[in-house]
Amino acid sequence: MIVVMKHGASSEQIDIVIKEINQFGYKDHPIYGVERTVIGAIGDEQSKWKLMDILAQLPGVDQVIPIMKPYKLTSHEVKQQRSVIAINKDVSIGGDNIVVMAGPCSVESEEQIHAAAQAVKTAGAKVLRGGAYKPRTSPYDFQGLGEEGLRMLRDAGRAYGMPIVTEVLREHDVDTVAKYADVLQIGARNMQNYGLLKAVGQLKKPVLLKRGLANTVKEFLMSAEYILSQGNYNVLLCERGIRTFETATRNTLDLGCVAVLRFETHLPVVVDPSHAAGQWSLVAPLARAGLAAGADSLIVEVHPNPHDALSDGAQSLTPKNFDALMESLVKIAEACGRTLIR
């Protein structure tokens, strides 16, 4: 349920409402707005109506509204204004601005990640991406450099003034990855790894949650709910393509999902055109389509020498092609009444 406080409700009145919510075994999720405070109350549905009656009579309460969606904290019902997620003091995702995250699939060496960072920074990307722990279909493929790769990625980010996003695969690695990364990515294969979702939910760092290979939008949002329910509201939802009968692309980019997420949730939406395309020549048109559908950000694979890449070389853009993509995105953003931050 949502408890909407009256304009000018005192902190004492808000504290009384939160205390009553907690006494019923519910967890409070206050959202302090400019005009008024809204408190989300999440707990046992069986006692919902009794608690709603009690809360409605407390001083300072304007109205109490049941949340009808199964995903409570991610829905527009609990927060009508769209969230803006601060990656660091200089970069935020959401609102009227569009931010691009870019870099190689995997961190392979100091030279490679610094070359990639320089290239994407020059073209206008604001966040550096790169994998240190790689979930591969084959156990014989390159699995990443682990913590050494994290160090290289962090150092390259610092050298070029860019925050970094990288994937975490296991609960055991959450603290290690969080020590280096500004944004923790939960990959498609781990979208329903609920233990991992709870672990990153207990952090305050932003989380980039990718949609699973064959998951519905509802399942996607319920996974985001796991993170928010632990107290971490800094979640970015990433559509990266789903598995369908179509084989012309690596995955099928679900632009309908992007549009639905804009209606259903207040969280920022990210599109990954690289994993959807599977081939570099399709990345640019899918990236532009993602922005047109309402994405707040893109995450694009860029490698200094794609032919020599240890993973996902076929879908990686060269620095030259990435620069051309960024130029075209400026026009798409303007046509949508938004601004591409470079």
Question: Mind listing the pLDDT tens digit for each residue in 46-91?
Answer: 888 899 999 999 999 999 998 888 898 999 888 888 999 999 999 9
Of 216, 105, 248, give the one whose Cα is nearest residue 167.
105
Cβ–Cβ under 8 Å, residues 259 and 249 = no
Taking a C-beta distance cutoff of 8 angstroms, is the pair 19, 31 a contact? no
Burial of 4 (0-12, 13-18, 19+ CB in 10 A): middle
Closest CA to 235 of 276, 183, 191, 196: 183
Q: Which fold has domain 85-340?
A: TIM Barrel (3.20.20)
CA within 13 Å, CB half, 268: 28
The average confidence (pLDDT) of the chain is 94
Q: Which H or E run includes 139?
A: none
| Block residue for tokens 């632009």 | 255
**pLDDT score recorded for residue 120:** 98
Q: Are 276 and 240 in contact (CB under 8 A)?
A: yes
Cα distance between residue 262 and residue 294, in whole Å: 7
- 2-65 maps to which CATH number? 3.30.70.1140
* Signed CA dihedral, 139, 143, 146, 150: sign only: negative
Given a contact cutoff of 8 angstroms between Cβ atoms, the answer to whether 143 and 149 are in contact is: no
Residue 75, beta-bridge partner list: 265
pLDDT, residue 140, reads 66
C-alpha 10/C-alpha 142 separation (Å) is 57
Give pLDDT, residue 241. 97
Picking from 294, 295, 314, the residue whose alpha carbon sits closest to that of residue 305 is 314
Contact 261, 239 (CB under 8 A): yes
Report the share of the chain in percent with pLDDT over 70: 100
pTM of the predicted structure, to 2 decimals: 0.91
SS3 232: coil
Percent over 90 (pLDDT), the chain: 85
Q: Distances in Å between the alpha carbon of 279 and those of 9, 70, 299?
A: 55, 37, 15
C-alpha angle 245-277-217 in degrees, rounded to nearest 5: 60
What does the pLDDT look like over 268-308, one tens digit per residue? 999 999 999 999 999 999 999 999 999 999 999 999 999 99
pLDDT at residue number 55 = 95
The number of CA neighbours under 13 Å toward the Cβ of 72 is 23
The pLDDT, as a whole number, for residue 78 is: 85
Q: Where are the domains of the chain?
A: 2-65, 85-340
- DSSP output for 247-300: -SSSSB--HHHHHHHHHHBSS-EEE-HHHHHSSGGGHHHHHHHHHHHT-SEEEE
